[in-house]
């Protein structure tokens, strides 16, 4: 059974779920809008540039989760799914997932965005397996504002996937040789270079150059231009 691996933001989604979630929280008045927007945009540019400090970013992005009751966050997330995420899911992205489902492949989203934000998105896309950055909660289920484990980012995606395969007793080399990985970002080059079938999806300029140099397929799910957030 072959693996079909999907990055989420700007790959299966026509936008960035993390960025959109923080913008949504700004609209709810959870934090100062101008301060949040400036930091959010700065981190997003660093991500696109390949200079993101993931631990610094996680401290920033997870802090609002610790400031609100879990029930309120979940209510907001349902609204966020309807208003922000649903418009980001294109028919082309759904068709890609269905193609691999019909082929009998094992479907897995692997994303740097945290599990609280992304688990309902994976469900909406019909993808049963998710590797995401994990969010720490206390014994009562309230978020602490911290992550735990290996962040699912850059080389961390490779490490997390290795753990996931090991837990299932699947051979690393055999599994990766038959795997397809779809991503828009040069930040995912460590995993793209590890799989047998790397595919660039509406790629950023650096990934597009790499894909053309190496003869990797380039797929457009969201039009010829990179989607706006």
Which positions are catalytic?
Answer: 7, 9
Which one-letter DSSP state was computed for residue 222?
S
- Is the distance from CB of 143 to CB of 116 less than 8 angstroms? yes
**Residues 122-158, buried b or exposed e (16+ Cβ, 10 A)?**
beebebeebbbbbbebeeeeebebebeebbbbbebbb
Gap between the Cα atoms of 190 and 157, Å rounded: 8
**Rounded alpha-carbon distances, angstroms, from residue 128 to 24, 45, 106, 144, 177:** 26, 30, 9, 26, 22
């Amino acid at each position: 059974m072959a693996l079909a691996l999907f990055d989420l933001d700007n790959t299966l989604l026509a936008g960035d779920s993390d960025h959109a979630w923080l913008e949504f929280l700004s609209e709810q008045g959870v934090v100062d809008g101008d301060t949040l927007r400036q930091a959010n945009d700065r981190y997003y540019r660093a991500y696109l540039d390949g200079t993101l400090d993931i631990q610094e970013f996680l401290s920033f992005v997870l802090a609002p989760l610790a400031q609100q009751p879990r029930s309120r966050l979940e209510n907001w997330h349902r609204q966020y799914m309807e208003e922000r995420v649903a418009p980001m899911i294109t028919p082309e992205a759904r068709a890609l997932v269905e193609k691999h489902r019909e082929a009998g492949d094992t479907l897995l989203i692997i994303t740097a965005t945290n599990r609280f934000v992304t688990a309902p998105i994976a469900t909406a896309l019909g993808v049963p397996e998710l590797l995401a950055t994990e969010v720490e909660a206390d014994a009562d289920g309230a978020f602490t504002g911290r992550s735990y484990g290996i962040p699912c980012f850059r080389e961390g995606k490779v490490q997390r996937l290795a753990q996931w395969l090991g837990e299932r007793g699947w051979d690393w080399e055999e599994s990766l040789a038959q795997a397809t990985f779809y991503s828009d970002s040069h930040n995912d080059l460590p995993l793209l270079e590890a799989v047998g079938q790397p595919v660039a999806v509406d790629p950023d300029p650096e990934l597009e150059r790499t894909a053309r140099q190496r003869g990797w397929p380039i797929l457009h799910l969201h039009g010829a231009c990179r989607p706006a957030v």
